[in-house]
Structure 1
Amino acid sequence: MVSEPGRGVDADRAGFRQAFYIRALNGLGRALQSSGVAAPELDADALCARARRRTGLSDWGGDDIAAPLHRLVDALREEAGLSQVGRIAAYLNLLDHLSVRLRLVDYRARRPEVARQRIERPLFIVGLPRTGTTILYELIAQDPAFRAPLSWEVARPLPPPGVDAAADPRIRGTDRLLGLLEKLAPGFRRIHPVGARLPQECVYLMASSFLSEQYAYMYNVPGYRDWLLRQDMAPAYRWHAAFLQHLQVDSPRGHWVLKTPAHLAHLDALLHCYPDAAVVWTHRRPLQALASFSSLTTTLRGAFSDGVDPLRVGPGEWDYHAAVVGRGMAARQKFDQAQFLDVAFADICADPVAVVREIYSHFSLTLGAAAERRMRAYLAGHPRNRFGVHRYTARSFGLEAAAEQAQFGAYLERFDPWLAAGQAHGATDVQKPSRNLTSD
């Protein structure tokens, strides 16, 4: 059993079961549909028209979104197996990202200084999902010399956050919205922390480019996901940079620290957009990492579909991330290796602040005593038992240790020094430090 500490609810028995009220709402939705009351139509052109009416705006900032939006909507309609609740949620999700895009493009046109903002020496944290990326992200964000895009800033980016935004009413509104996630996907907080004031992943910033893994986390859209791997991601990273420029225009403080495992598939596009970026790559045995991630995606997708099969989720994540790791390894060779630092998940578990010190040392950054105290206080304030145990087995998702070498052999060989440390923890029981490290 691979387990992550907390309260003790077994995902094999309870974690994949939809909440009763979600099943009830889906049943009501089916009854309404049979009576002629349909859920919102998932149609790309209709969604764009609705977003234009909603905002009174029409400039998308170019035609980059047309192809990915149509591809995504087609996948949601044809592949995702959305429930009635899922169709409504997907419709509102897409409409929100379309509206955000229109408003950001409009704001940028009205304030030319936004486009003049410089994004200098950002620090990116990448790696397979569930490899310690989130805790490193959250800790480095405690340093006043850095800043991370916070969930509320990304969800409600207009107007841009000011220097003193601690009491912004958008924070409370975002927390209420995020609270719905626990109702839709009971137990999700045991797996991954959410909160308006927590740093947000880059996939969410990129969601309004419609070239984003965010949608594959939430919905079963393998066709869209495979298509995404073959695309030129330059438009997504241009949008990512434009979003950061927007967020910092009224509060230009610190270097950006940024994170998503999805960057691993597109390191070349990332480093062409941010040529002076520093990249931390976290490492954990793929079997452990992807069993945990399969649990996360099963739980999240189960909020929006009645037909999520854990035994199909696992092989899908296995194959996809084998391709992602291969792409990341190949892309890395094109760049200055001094821009990268490899970090072992086991070391993050043992002493995350020591790993932060290693990161700062490698990239010639200064970790002040006050910043380190803030990091330690953050760890102390986020105890591991807060939301409960995340329990899962690899076999629950159709994953077997015997296949790891065949799928990930080159990765295992290349990064053995960082993966071997994890062997001491065993493949069946990953112990964590005193903070809730149930995220990435």
Structure 2
Amino acid sequence: MNDSNRREFDSSNLPDIELSEKALLEAAIAQTGLSDFGDESDWREGFCLLLTSLNEEARLTPIGRLIAFHEMLRHLANRLTVTADIKNHPEILEVAIEKPLFVVGLPRTGSTILHDLLAQDPDNRVPMTWECYNMSPPPESASYDTDPRITVCQAHLDETAGALIPEFQAIHEMGAQLAQECLMLQAFDFKSVIFANQFRIPTYERWVESCNLLSVYKTHKRQLQYLQWKAPRERWVLKSTGHLWGLDKLIEVYPDAQIVMTHRDPLKLIASHCSLVSMACSMGSDEVDQHEVAQMWSASWEDAMRRGIAFRDSGRPEAADVFDMHFSELVIDQVGMVRRIYDHFGLTLTEDAVRRMREFIDHNPKDRHGTHRYTLEQFGLGPAAERERYRFYQDYFGVASEG
């Protein structure tokens, strides 16, 4: 958080936040009037590990403790309400999820702009931030663009990141009616990379990267069924960096998944992501060590790259059908890239969808929220060493260095 924003937030008036299992579970039950959190084996271990890391590793300020408490409370409340809704309407679990398209890749590789472009096609269904933020009741087509949760979600974004670190928009645009990553859905089971993007929790993050994610994808499918029940479209289009750690389990749950893997020069994306994480962590901590952030995430993304390659080398037919999208090609012709993806998977790209995509590009120019400047050196990373570290990835996928 920058100095001017620190002055605006007087933490002396904040309540003493107890980041404990008991306090959070009691708060969620009191807020919703419900008590069934679903299968404990899906979420309890991650929930407890996250709490431990937040208390012992995150170096939280009073504001940070407040943010962490309410983030975890929101996910618990979503568990309670969605679990109750599905119990009351078991037909939700009969909703078919057919041939979902997953955009998978490292951060800052063009996956967000691709996801946003694909969201312009009226046949595509993407999870919007507002419906992931507060999932219950299930959204409905008739009120999808006017649901009161949109305003509530936007106010939350404006009051947190928008107020504490307004420059964050130059790195990663946020909005209630923008497409959301699956990271937020995966937080439902407390097995998500999203938490380490906001807090210094290395023990928890390493656990997430190594745990069995099958339950996460089973939950993920139930979430899509829930969101689609009263607001259906032709197909789901989803994206997340976190899928790199669970591609085998993703395919187990979605055997007909269509996967797009995004690629870019690792030296460009690593520094950018470290800048994003450092800024996000500064909302809740006065002790953000940029070099420490870089060491953790550089190792994480190397592991993610190796996981992605292992999946591609697995011999599974699904791995052979992955479409590789290179950032350098996307920036030359964005709609042309979408057309190539549709052709690859045998999808129909209508003229109406193309028109909507071109309008989106025209109304969302690059750097409209300002520029984002960073270097590897400011994070204690040496370009030559990092280039060598990721050479295996560039060689495997034919990713050119950007200079």
After superposition, the Cα gap between the structure-2 partners of 1:178 and 1:38, relative to the gap in structure 1 and judged at 3 Å, is closer
Corresponding residue for residue 171 of structure 1? 150
Structure 2 residue runs of 5 or longer lacking an equivalent are none
Structure 1 residue runs of 5 or longer lacking an equivalent are 1-16, 428-440
Q: How many residues align?
A: 398
Alignment partner of 1:361 is 2:343: yes
- Which stretch has the larger CA shift, 346-355 or 335-344? 335-344
Corresponding residue for residue 45 of structure 2? 67
Superposed CA offset, 1:141-190 (max 9, x none) = 11111110111111122211111221222112211111121212230000
Corresponding residue for residue 434 of structure 1? none
Which of residues 59, 63, 88 in structure 2 aligns to 1:85?
A: 63
Q: Which amino acid aligns with 1:163?
A: S
> How far 1:20 sits from its partner (Å)?
2.6
Superposed CA offset, 1:210-232 (max 9, x none) = 00111011111111010112211
Q: Give the distance between the partners of 1:385 and 1:266, measured in 2 at CA.
A: 32
Alignment partner of 1:136 is 2:118: no
Q: Give the distance between the partners of 1:385 and 1:408, measured in 2 at CA.
A: 28
Alignment partner of 1:25 is 2:9: yes
Superposed CA offset, 1:101-126 (max 9, x none) = 10000000001111111111000001
Corresponding residue for residue 45 of structure 1? 22
> How far 1:384 sits from its partner (Å)?
2.1
Alignment partner of 1:225 is 2:205: yes
After superposition, the Cα gap between the structure-2 partners of 1:23 and 1:272, relative to the gap in structure 1 and judged at 3 Å, is farther
Q: Give the distance between the partners of 1:87 and 1:18, measured in 2 at CA.
A: 18
Corresponding residue for residue 396 of structure 1? 378
Which of residues 189, 197, 207 in structure 2 aligns to 1:209?
A: 189
**8 Å contact from structure 1 (residues 188, 299) kept in 2:** yes
**8 Å contact from structure 1 (residues 130, 293) kept in 2:** yes
Q: Give the distance between the partners of 2:397 and 2:320, measured in 1 at CA.
A: 16
Q: Give the distance between the partners of 1:22 and 1:323, measured in 2 at CA.
A: 36
List aligned pairs for 1:265-284, cutoff 5 A.
265-284=245-264
> How far 1:402 sits from its partner (Å)?
1.1
Q: Which amino acid aligns with 2:48?
A: H
Corresponding residue for residue 322 of structure 1? 302
**8 Å contact from structure 2 (residues 98, 235) kept in 1:** yes
Superposed CA offset, 1:13-37 (max 9, x none) = xxxx5253435636x43xx6xxxx8
The TM-score, its normalising length taken from structure 1, stands at: 0.87
SS at structure 2 position matched to 1:65: helix
Q: Give the distance between the partners of 2:147 and 2:166, measured in 1 at CA.
A: 28
After superposition, the Cα gap between the structure-2 partners of 1:361 and 1:71, relative to the gap in structure 1 and judged at 3 Å, is same
What RMSD in Å do the two structures reach over aligned CA positions? 1.5
**8 Å contact from structure 2 (residues 123, 233) kept in 1:** yes
The TM-score, its normalising length taken from structure 2, stands at: 0.95
Q: Which amino acid aligns with 1:259?
A: K
Q: Give the distance between the partners of 1:358 and 1:279, measured in 2 at CA.
A: 13
Alignment partner of 1:408 is 2:390: yes
Identity of aligned residues (%): 39
Q: Give the distance between the partners of 1:413 and 1:286, measured in 2 at CA.
A: 12
Q: Which amino acid aligns with 1:382?
A: N
Alignment partner of 1:119 is 2:97: yes
Relative contact order higher in (CA < 8 Å, ≥ 6 apart): 1
- Which stretch has the larger CA shift, 324-333 or 249-258? 324-333
Q: Give the distance between the partners of 1:362 and 1:346, measured in 2 at CA.
A: 19
